[in-house]
Structure 1
């Protein structure tokens, strides 16, 4: 199996991060990871109301935008936020998005 693509911190683009976060399902995934920390793909996708293949698509978009890190251990894939990388590249962006989301709820 080939390794998954994760952009370097310097290659994370603001437009791609915002585009990835503009989808409600992807935003919900980010919120879940912010609250729970590392999760398996199955746990993160529970109750999203989308098929597994659609959830996988959303994980890929978030990973390629530099928002998520995906780690494979055996047959499981674990997702986590790249909070430190995002804060280094765009200080306060993720916290602003998450607090705006909580305020809207």
Structure 2
């Protein structure tokens, strides 16, 4: 069953670090089996929604998503981010 990696940027504190992260994270995620579905600022927000950068990545399974996060390549990307953003990242299983 598919799984989705949802990352919401609550605050970006250093654009240069975010750019360094993105340069490493994109290839690491794709090489680990992830496919970017959506990324960017919301067009609309409702209820308690906040206008924050959001990234949605699809993976073949929760296990593949977890392995992508824990991979050496993605950990290198996280090291480059080094406090440049406050994020909420979660892995959510898809529905059948």
Whether these two folds match at TM > 0.5 is no
Higher helix share: 1
**Normalized against structure 2, the TM-score is what?**
0.31
Higher strand share: 2
